[in-house]
A and B are shown apart, each in its own frame.
Chain A
Amino acid sequence: MLIKISEQAKKLQTDVRLFVEREIIPQVQSIENDGRISEEIVSKLAGNHLLGMMIPEEYGGQNIDPLSLALLHEELGQGHTSVENMLTVVGMVVKAITSAGDEEQKKRWLPGIAAGSVIPAFAMSESNIGSDIKGMETVAVKGDGHFMLKGNKKWITLGQIADLFIVFAKCDNRGAAFLVERDTPGLSVVPMSPTFGLRGNMLAELHFDDCQIPEANLLGRIGSGFNRVAAFALDEGRYTTACGCVGLGKACLNASLKYVNQRKQFDVYLKEHQLVQKMITEMIVNIQTAKLLCYQAGTLREMKDPTSISYTLMAKYHASKMANLAADYAIQIHGAVGCSTEYAVERYYRDAKIMEIIEGSTQLYEMQIAKNPVI
């Protein structure tokens, strides 16, 4: 497999790295304390065209290639995982609209998302339904020129500030996806407390109480909601989450390398202790293997190769486990200070755990990878 990263992609990576250093790192503490990504950050993300990276140019976006997208998420993952995940969610919504939306829907929503004037969210999970989406309880009933939506959604990233929700429901027992505007009568948004990691995600519960959705807001058709709209959007989400995990792993490694060069025990720097070297080695090798899987998935995505789906899944599986191990080792290497908020590694540890649950949990991937072996 030949992985070729273009000069343009490398330039984007440098630009994003500078953006993260200048605009995200100084805001990390306030994201953690406030449990939200500030409006200022959102407008800077939009101002630097980061929200439109996956949107075709004719709708106001940049439409970057998959490997550039990988580098973008890798850099964001080194800054703050919630910011990286915000772009993952935006990407999933964009994927759903670009692949299943009609021209009218694309023209209506994509330019606003690129400009940051429309914040989107992806509403799949419910209080009783997580991994098993076929058991979804939210229902849509077809009326005359509209659908009536009834049910609830939970854990919806950006839900607190979103203007547009892609809501999945069952209609006549078949999967369907709807574009639901925030001010739709019958929709209520209830903010949730931040989770221990990805604290800036601005999670919300959504309640649909006979919420009337115009027929024109059906995305795709009845029956394609799960197999087409959700499946390909989740595939996109897995890819960028995997790349975000590579960034998170790198952040753990960088912090650890810095610390082992500063801290002395038994008269030598920690880096001289062989058992510390073992942890550093594992981190380095695991980051590289995760990175290679991500880039390979990216290359296959660019070629629209069918196996890109499996490689993306393996990349997310491996990269999220890698980030957990890297964060675990980073704390271990830091000792007590690693458990305090004085050092970033405790945040990496909290964030890494969540990366193994969102966009499909490790156990679900273990079943899918085994059933669909790539040899």
Chain B
Amino acid sequence: MKDKIISNQREIKSKVKDYFARSLVGIELGDEDDIFELGLVHSLFAMQLILFIEKEFGIELEDDEIDLERIKTLNQITSLILRKLELQC
């Protein structure tokens, strides 16, 4: 069970990382880098990120979950997606 969660987590993180790499050309992100603080992200990108998460992982984010304060790093985004996917199971 724990192994499955870890492998899911890796897969999710790698998909999100790929998305960032495609969208923020030429920038390598660390797991705990604050994407907003680094000035990488603006409101337009944040909207695209929400659409990406919803489409790629087949989840619907609640209004409460789209708190930009709480999805600032790759790790935070990955945990949010994992939590939602687990709830769906």
Distance between B67 CB and nearest chain A CB, rounded to angstroms: 6
Segment of B6-14, B27-35, B44-52, B81-89 in the binding face: B44-52
Separation of A372 and B55 alpha carbons in the complex (Å): 20
Q: Evaluate contact between B64 and A221: CB separation under 8 angstroms.
A: yes
Q: Evaluate contact between A310 and B63: CB separation under 8 angstroms.
A: no
Cross-chain contact of A231 among B47, B64, B67, B69 (Cβ < 8 A): B47
Q: Evaluate contact between A372 and B45: CB separation under 8 angstroms.
A: yes
Q: Evaluate contact between A309 and B51: CB separation under 8 angstroms.
A: yes
Q: Evaluate contact between A227 and B43: CB separation under 8 angstroms.
A: yes
Q: Does A373 contact B (CB under 8 A)?
A: yes
| Chain B binding surface, main DSSP class | helix
B27-81 contacts to A (CB < 8 Å): 42-52, 54-55, 63-64, 66-69
Q: Evaluate contact between A307 and B48: CB separation under 8 angstroms.
A: yes
Range for the number of chain B residues in contact with chain A: 20 to 34
Distance between B16 CB and nearest chain A CB, rounded to angstroms: 12
Separation of A264 and B55 alpha carbons in the complex (Å): 57
- A sample of 27 cross-chain residue pairs with beta-carbon separation below 8 angstroms, ordered by A number, consists of A221-B63, A221-B64, A223-B67, A223-B69, A224-B63, A224-B66, A227-B46, A227-B66, A228-B50, A232-B47, A304-B51, A304-B54, A304-B55, A306-B48, A306-B52, A306-B55, A307-B48, A309-B47, A309-B51, A310-B48, A313-B44, A368-B44, A371-B44, A372-B42, A372-B45, A373-B25, A375-B25
Return the CB mask of A181-225 against B: 1 if under 8 Å, else 0: 000000000000000000000000000000000000000110110
Known: A220-B63, A224-B67, A228-B66. A368 touches B47 (CB 8 A): no
Instruction: Apart from A224-B66, A224-B67, list 17 A-B contacts with CB within 8 A.
Output: A100-B63, A221-B63, A221-B64, A224-B63, A227-B46, A228-B66, A231-B46, A231-B47, A304-B55, A305-B51, A306-B23, A309-B47, A310-B44, A310-B48, A313-B44, A371-B44, A375-B25
Range for the number of chain A residues in contact with chain B: 20 to 34
Distance between B73 CB and nearest chain A CB, rounded to angstroms: 17
Distance between B36 CB and nearest chain A CB, rounded to angstroms: 11
Residues of the A chain whose Cβ atoms lie less than 8 Å from the Cβ of B48: 306-307, 309-310, 372
Distance between B38 CB and nearest chain A CB, rounded to angstroms: 13
Separation of A372 and B22 alpha carbons in the complex (Å): 11
Separation of A286 and B42 alpha carbons in the complex (Å): 30
Distance between B20 CB and nearest chain A CB, rounded to angstroms: 12
Distance between B1 CB and nearest chain A CB, rounded to angstroms: 32
Q: Does A235 contact B (CB under 8 A)?
A: yes
Which residue of B has the minimal Cβ distance to A308? B51
Separation of A264 and B41 alpha carbons in the complex (Å): 56
Q: Evaluate contact between B47 and A235: CB separation under 8 angstroms.
A: yes
Separation of A329 and B54 alpha carbons in the complex (Å): 44
Distance between B72 CB and nearest chain A CB, rounded to angstroms: 13
A269-311 contacts to B (CB < 8 Å): 303-310
